[in-house]
Every structure is written in structure tokens, then in C-alpha cells.
């Protein structure tokens, strides 16, 4: 992390907690700037004693950082991963256990152009699916977000950025539904004396 990292345009508009998560992800990632998305492990490493942070909050932060271009969230082999987009060169890096993001290569310009194209394709597919909030939905208006992109309706083992983002949005939606169900359950007789 360099002092210039605190003044990157894509991060300045984000809330301070999201910027803190971005810094933590840099420390959490492997030598190639990649890591598997595991909210429980991220909470334990980045926010060990902060009870206000939840798995859902981590999902929100990852999606906001992906939207800002600070990380790339992608899916591969049924799992979701992230890659820090502005990752410095590491001398003698260890081999990564995680697949690279789609079409990642040593040419920063080509990768930026690819990521911009992926974002545009994702926006187009979301418009086609008719969700005004930017989340892909199934045919039922109030149904869950589809966990896969239109190019891979049954999923794929190949790295796919839109599939990774949609899988994360689906998990966030599932978590919200579980939380809502828990809130709606009333425990009659508990605490009555």
C-alpha cells in the first residue's frame, strides 16, 4: 500500500468502512492479489472483534469495490474469487492456488479494456433482464437473483466475471431472506413472567 492508494479516484466516493475493507483485502490476498471469497474467514481476518460487521456487510463491500473497479469478482469451478485490480509486482511470488481472473495477463491496458467490456456486457444483460436496481432477476419479479450470467445459464468451470458477481449477489439476497425470516418469527411466551 502506498500513500497514493489513499487518493485513488475510484475509492474516494466509497464509505470509509469499504475503503478499510479494500486495504484489508490487499493484506488478505495471495502474492498475485487473488483469494477465494469466504466471508467467515474474511471477517475473522479483517474484523476479528468487530460485531457490527457481518457476512452480508462483507458481500456489500465486495460488490461496491467491484463496481468501483478496485477488485474484480469472478467465478470459477463453482466458487467465487476476487482479484485486486491494481496489484504491484511481487519479487519471487509463490504460486497461486486460485485461478486468474478472466483473460488476466501481463498487459495492464488489455486487462483494463477487457474488464471495461465485461462491465458493459454485464450492464447490458441486466437491462435485458429488466432489473432497475442492477441485479439480475428470474422471471418472477420478486424472485431471487440468478446466480449465473446469461452466457452461462447452467454455470461454468471457466473463470467468468459476471457469474462471480451474480453468485455473490445471490448469496447476499439469500442472507437477507434468512435475516428477514428470523425477524418475522415471533417467540410467543418468551420473556413473559
pLDDT tens per residue across span 14-23: 999 999 999 9
pLDDT tens per residue across span 98-124: 998 886 444 444 445 545 555 565 556
Q: Which of 4-13, 17-26, 48-57, 142-151 comes out lowest in average pLDDT?
A: 4-13
What is the predicted pLDDT for the residue at 3? 60
pLDDT tens per residue across span 60-97: 999 999 998 899 999 888 889 999 988 888 889 999 99
- Cα–Cα distance, 89 to 189 (Å, whole number): 61
CB 169 within 8 Å of CB 73: no
- Cα–Cα distance, 75 to 71 (Å, whole number): 13
Nearest to 82 by CA among 16, 38, 46: 38
pLDDT of residue 181 exceeding 50: yes
CB atoms within 10 A of CB 172: 21
Nearest to 136 by CA among 122, 119, 118: 122
What is the predicted pLDDT for the residue at 125? 54
Angle, helices 16-28 vs 55-68, to 10°: value is 90
| Global pTM value | 0.63
By CB atoms closer than 10 A (0-12, 13-18, 19+), residue 38 is: middle
Amino acid at each position: 500500500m502506498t500513500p497514493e492508494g489513499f487518493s485513488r479516484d475510484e475509492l474516494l466516493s466509497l464509505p470509509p468502512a469499504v475503503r478499510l475493507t479494500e486495504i484489508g483485502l490487499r493484506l488478505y490476498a495471495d502474492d498475485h492479489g487473488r483469494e477465494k471469497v469466504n466471508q467467515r474467514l474474511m471477517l475473522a481476518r479483517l474484523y476479528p472483534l468487530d460485531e457490527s460487521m457481518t457476512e452480508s456487510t462483507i458481500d456489500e463491500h465486495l460488490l461496491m469495490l467491484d463496481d468501483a473497479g478496485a477488485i474484480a469478482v469472478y467465478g470459477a469451478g463453482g466458487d467465487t474469487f476476487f482479484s485486486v485490480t491494481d496489484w504491484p509486482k511481487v519479487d519471487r511470488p509463490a504460486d497461486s492456488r486460485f485461478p486468474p481472473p478472466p483473460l488476466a495477463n501481463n498487459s495492464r491496458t488489455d486487462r483494463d479494456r477487457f474488464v471495461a467490456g465485461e462491465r458493459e456486457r454485464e450492464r447490458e444483460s441486466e437491462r435485458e433482464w429488466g432489473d432497475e436496481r442492477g441485479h439480475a432477476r428470474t422471471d418472477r419479479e420478486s424472485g431471487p437473483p440468478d446466480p449465473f450470467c446469461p452466457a452461462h445459464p447452467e454455470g461454468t468451470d471457466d473463470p467468468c466475471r459476471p457469474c462471480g458477481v451474480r453468485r455473490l449477489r445471490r448469496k447476499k439476497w439469500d442472507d437477507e431472506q434468512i435475516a428477514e425470516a428470523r425477524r418475522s418469527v415471533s417467540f410467543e411466551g418468551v420473556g413473559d413472567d
